[in-house]
Amino acid sequence: MNLARPALAASVPSPFQALIDGLQEAVWLVDAATHCVVAVNKMSQALLGLPSDQLLGCAIDSLATTPEDALFWMDAAAGGRDGLHTDTMIRHADGRMMWVARRVTHVPQAQGQGLWLIAMQDLTAQRQHDEERETLLAELRATLESTADGILVTDLAGRMRSFNQRFAALWGIPEDLLNERNDEAVQAWMRRSVIDGPAYAMRLASVQESPLLQTSDNIRLIDGRVLERVSLPQWSRGRPIGRVFSFRDLSEKLAANQRIEELSHTDMLSGLPNRRALAERLDYAQAMARRETSPFGLLNVDLDRFKQINDTLGHSYGDRVLKEVALRLKESLREVDTVARLGGDEFALLIHQADARGAEHAARRVQEAMSRPFCFDTLSFTVTCSIGIALFPGDGNSAEELLASAERAMHWVKESGRSAFRFHQPRKDVDLLSRMRLDHAMRQALQEHEFRLHYQPQVALGTGEVIGAEALIRWRDPLRGEVPPSEFIPVAEESGFIVAIGNWVLQQAVQQAAQWRRQGLRIPVAVNVSALQFQQAQFVETVAQALRAADLSPSLLELELTESILLRDAEEALLRLQGLAELGVCMSIDDFGTGYSSLGYLKRFPIQRLKIDKSFVRGLPGDASDAGIVNAIIQMGRALNLKVIAEGVESEAQREFLQRCGCHEYQGYLFAPALEGRAFEERVMRQNKAQVRLLRGGA
Ligand code: C2E
Ligand code: CA
Ligand code: CA
């Protein structure tokens, strides 16, 4: 340091020296007249690293060189100042500038202009501390602003101390409210933004009353968003001094969760509930059904030959069909019911508060909805479906069991020719083993001639004359006793043995008709034909052979086919039917109404008769729906020039109703059950003779 030193050092009164040496600050005494340093204390040397003798006598303006100093000393010389107290910088002996708090005070003296006392305190440590704190604060602020959460810090009384921009944005707080730091206005704004303002305020108040509480809750805003609010006490020196609230917008997360939940319960292609969602609804339906003792139905709907559509027209086409099917299924049900897609071309319908009748009604509506042709682009085609029905209670005690029952029933429909519906029947021979035993027993029965045919008379409604017979198979097994066809025919259909049985029935029936013919009885015999039997390539030839062998006129043989047989492989079926028609054989549609086929569609087939299924006859004449269906079938049949016969007629009232509607013929227990050949002959003779007598007598 190169300091200008005046030629004469000012002399300092020695009491001052002792005084200033006792001070904690670095002190210089400056002569007010000469502006020269006249005394320095020990602390000065410690602060600035300059020995006292280097300072003594120096001009002050060479030591304190800032513009502020220069100005002060100029003013002081003119007598215009009495002190100065600022932070300033001063040079250390080693050349670095250092911060000091510097106080300049005038010390008057009895003579002369007095002295200036310059006291300096080292600010280096404090400055450093301040700087560190500022950096820290800046860092904190940056962190606060960069978090995705809205942060609000309050004191213990709930007054806002700080917040970040995200907080303002989340709550949509106007800038002027924030700038004003108007606590009450901001709080009011927040209260107004939530759905339940009073509850929000109460909760906040209770949080404030417990400064140590950690809280976490969700707040619903009136704009629909949901904010998660977490609050923690803010600590300082071991004591809570306020509270930090953080807010996070959960709306997206909740929406995403909801979407995930939806997706896991929805079939992507159709938008329908999936198997999982259906299982949940089934569980619920069961609980409700138990409580209210109201039954419900579950329908398994499987499209017939959907694979063909996929294979020939492509998958995207198939998808369009599935979507359309989904739509039609939904339309055919009530709002409360559920349509679910189980996968592939398999759907399930949950029909609430429905017994067998209600479920059947739903099945018919589905078939009706599906019967409308599907038209895409230039293509138009029909899609049929097979429906299995399970009922609760009865067909299962869990969603899984019910689904399995409905599916099993659906498979029975598929096996017996598709395009129909069927209730699940708890089978006595459910297990494979007993089915195999039954199948084996049937094969033996055929060899051992244990099968018999019974004949149920068919009667003209107008004249009461017996005009035909339906051949129905009977089997008495040595072990099992009389086994009903409803039990063994499905097993035979499953194993394929039905073809052999069917051929036996055909030959037997044709021979019986031929024998009656020889006895002078012209009784056409109707034979039930199974799908598998009809599908045999040589079926037409088999029929022709049976007729030739018995030498029977083809007009005395009738084949009972089900709708599903005709709808399966329709073109192929049509060719076969034409072959049979050319033979001169009669054909009827059995169980009419249970499968769904529009009569317009059936018009293409060379068919002579419709047999109204006994399930419709059962409710006659009281049941309005049965009565309507039966009447419609009769009218349509007549319009298409078909003979209409009703089966399962058990009462006079049913017979009368059918006659009134214009039905041509009937069969049923009212007249006679299926009878042995001999018994049938006698019954017919008696009846027809009586009829002849009646007619003659009447004439
Ligand atoms: P299906 O062709 O609908 O036969 C009519 C069924 O109704 C017969 O039962 C008959 O005995 C019964 N039935 C007759 N009158 C009445 C009545 O007034 N009320 C009621 N409730 N029922 C009546 P069955 O003989 O037990 O035959 C059951 C089913 O087995 C038949 O239904 C048919 O699908 C099948 N089936 C019988 N024989 C043969 C056969 O030779 N070949 C084939 N493929 N299937 C047969
Ligand atoms: Ca029949
Ligand atoms: Ca029938």
For the cut 70, the answer to whether the pLDDT of residue 87 exceeds it is: yes
- pLDDT category at 695 given cuts 50, 70, 90 is low
Pocket test for ligand 1, best of 528, 589, 617 (most atoms within 8 A of CB): 528
Question: Pick the residue with more confidence: 696 or 657?
Answer: 657
What per-residue confidence (pLDDT) applies to 178?
82
- Distance CA(342)–CA(350), nearest Å, equals 12
Check residue 261 and give its pLDDT.
75
| Segment 285-294, tens digit of pLDDT | 999 888 887 8
Q: How much distance in Å is there from the Cα of 34 to the middle of ligand 3? A: 138
pLDDT at position 96: 87
**Closest protein CA for atom 23 of ligand 1:** 648
Percent of the chain having pLDDT more than 70?
94
How much of the chain exceeds pLDDT 90, in percent? 46
Domains 14-127 and 147-252 share a fold: yes
Residue nearest to atom 32 of ligand 1 (CA): 486
Strand blocks (E) in 181-270: 215-220, 226-236, 239-249
Asked whether the beta carbons of 545 and 534 are under 8 A apart, the reply is: no
Angle, alpha carbons 608-611-617 (nearest 5°) = 155
Q: How confident is residue 208, by pLDDT bands cut at 50, 70 and 90?
A: confident
Could you read off the pLDDT of 396-417 as tens digits, one per residue? 888 989 999 999 899 888 877 7
> With 90 as the cut, is the pLDDT of residue 141 above it?
no
Q: 139 pLDDT band (50/70/90 cuts)?
A: confident
Q: Kindly tell me the sign of the dihedral angle through the C-alpha atoms of 165, 166, 167, 168.
A: positive
Residue 3 is encoded by which pair of tokens? 């300091």
pLDDT per residue as tens digits for the range 534-547: 988 899 999 999 99
Q: What is the pLDDT of residue 430?
A: 54
Instruction: Please tell me the predicted confidence (pLDDT) of residue 609.
Output: 94
pLDDT score recorded for residue 601: 63
Residue nearest to atom 7 of ligand 1 (CA): 648
Sorting pLDDT into bands at 50, 70 and 90, what band is 263? confident
pLDDT tens-digit profile of 171-203? 999 988 888 888 889 999 999 999 988 999 998
Which protein residue's CA is at the shortest distance from atom 45 of ligand 1?
528
Most confident of 73-87, 126-140, 447-461, 616-630: 447-461
Is the pLDDT assigned to residue 276 strictly greater than 50? yes
Instruction: Give the C-alpha distances (Å, rounded to integers) separating 500 from 128, 435, 444, 539.
Output: 108, 17, 12, 12
> How much is the pLDDT for 176?
86
| Window from 150-154, 454-458, 663-667 with minimum mean pLDDT | 150-154
Rounded Cα gap, residues 527 and 508, in angstroms:
10
- Site to probe by mutation for ligand 1, drawn from 412, 454, 472 as the one with most ligand atoms within 8 Å of Cβ, is 472
Ligand 1 contact, 674 CB (< 6 A): yes
Confidence of residue 688 (pLDDT cuts 50, 70, 90): confident
Cα-to-centroid distance, 463 and ligand 3 (Å):
23
Q: What is the pLDDT of residue 64?
A: 79
**What is the tens place of the pLDDT at every residue in 429-451?**
456 677 888 899 999 999 999 99
The full set of domain ranges for the chain reads: 14-127, 147-252, 264-423, 434-691
Average pLDDT for 142-169: 88
Topology adopted by domain 147-252: Beta-Lactamase (3.30.450)
**b/e string for 81-91 if b means 16 or more Cβ within 10 A?**
beebeeebebb
Atom of ligand 1 nearest to the CA of 472: 38
Q: Is the pLDDT reported for residue 1 higher than 50?
A: no
Q: What is the pLDDT of residue 347?
A: 96
* pLDDT, tens digit, 9 for 90 and up, residues 2-47: 444 444 444 555 678 888 888 889 999 999 999 999 999 989 988 8
Residue 605 CB partners (closer than 8 Å, separation 6+)? 566, 573, 574, 577, 587
* pLDDT value at residue 5: 47
For domain 264-423, the CATH class is alpha beta
Q: Give me the mean pLDDT over the 506-523 stretch.
A: 95
pLDDT higher for 305 or 527?
A: 527
For residue 685, give every residue at least 6 positions away whose Cβ sits within 8 Å of its Cβ, in sequence order, or none: 521
Q: What is the pLDDT of residues 562-574, one digit of tens each?
A: 877 776 666 778 8
User: In the structure, what pLDDT confidence band is assigned to residue 89 with cuts at 50, 70 and 90?
Assistant: confident
Residue 10 per-residue DSSP state: P
Residues forming a β-bridge with 302? 346, 386
For ligand 1, atom 11, name the residue with the nearest CA. 674
Host H or E run for residue 416 = none
What's the confidence (pLDDT) of residue 680?
96
Give the chain's end-to-end CA distance (angstroms, integer). 159
By residue count, the chain amounts to: 699
179 lines ligand 1 (CB under 6 A): no
pLDDT of 353-398, one tens digit each?
Answer: 998 889 999 999 999 999 888 888 887 888 889 999 999 888 888 8
Distance 561 CA to ligand 2 centre (A): 8
CA distance 551 to 541: 15
Regarding the domain delimited by 14-127, which CATH topology (the fold level of the hierarchy) does it fall under? Beta-Lactamase (3.30.450)
pLDDT at 642 over 70: yes
Residue 305 pLDDT exceeds 90: no
Q: How far is the CA of 587 from the centre of ligand 3 (A)?
A: 14
Does 492 contact ligand 1 (Cβ within 6 A)?
no
In the CATH hierarchy, which fold is given to the domain comprising 434-691? Answer: TIM Barrel (3.20.20)
Of the candidate ranges 93-97, 255-259, 283-287, 675-679, the one whose mean pLDDT is the lowest: 255-259
Residue 224 has pLDDT above 80, yes or no: yes
Q: Residue 645: pLDDT above 60?
A: yes
Q: Does 579 score more than 90 pLDDT? A: yes
For atom 41 of ligand 1, which residue has the closest CA?
Answer: 473
pLDDT band at 254 (very low <50, low <70, confident <90, very high): confident
Residue owning the nearest CA to atom 43 of ligand 1 = 528
